[in-house]
Amino acid sequence: MIMKKVCILIGGLCLLAFAVMPAQAFTVKSLTMTIVPDGDAQVDIHYDLTLFEEGAIFFRISDPAAELKKAFDTNSMKPVTVTQATGSSARVLIPSFASVVTDDNGTTMITPSVSFERAQKVLNQYWFAPLISPDFSPEITTIIFPDGYRARFDNLLVIPSVPHQLGMN
């Protein structure tokens, strides 16, 4: 009987500790945007989730792929397609992501800036927001153009627009 009460007390204290301490949450490890010659992009994102977040996804409280889609939809005139989503990664296809301008000097591609600030605001509306501390800024963002040129950014919540003249590495 005493052992049962001790177990209940310890369990209650553990729950209280989890409720009071913010946990590291959704963390974007890498974001790779591969641009093809017509300006379409394949975006691969790798992230870590806590056990709590995995449970939220399991119970359909949260959907990282849907939030990723919303983040990219704001910059796209055409519908964005999530082709793959797992507990640690997602793949998104974005039509006409980069502007393609061809003139006498050659072809220049310009990617739009991409902000993950909205994802943070959406997450803050959930009841469990005070319990987690997500990091939507990718540790490494890489934009790969058709000629192999790569632009890299570290830990940015807003990825800037990148102009690149093809063939001018």
| Strand, coil or helix: 69 | helix
What per-residue confidence (pLDDT) applies to 28? 82
Inform me whether the pLDDT recorded for 24 exceeds 70. Answer: no
The pTM is what? 0.73
Q: Kindly compute the dihedral angle of the four CA atoms of residues 118, 119, 124, 125, in this order, to the nearest 10 degrees.
A: 80
Q: What is the pLDDT of residues 34-57, one digit of tens each?
A: 999 999 999 998 887 766 555 555
What per-residue confidence (pLDDT) applies to 115? 84
What per-residue confidence (pLDDT) applies to 141? 96
What per-residue confidence (pLDDT) applies to 34? 97
Q: Where are the alpha helices (DSSP H) in the chain?
A: 2-20, 51-58, 64-73, 117-123
Which of 125 and 58 is assigned the larger pLDDT? 125
Q: Which of 65, 112, 110 shows the shortest CA–CA distance to 92?
A: 65
Which of 38 and 168 is assigned the larger pLDDT? 38
Whole-angstrom distance, CA of residue 139 vs CA of residue 160: 15
- How, if at all, do strands 150-154 and 106-111 pair? unpaired
User: How does residue 17 score in pLDDT terms, banded at 50, 70 and 90?
Assistant: very low
Q: What is the mean predicted confidence (pLDDT) over 96-118?
A: 90
User: How does residue 69 score in pLDDT terms, banded at 50, 70 and 90?
Assistant: low
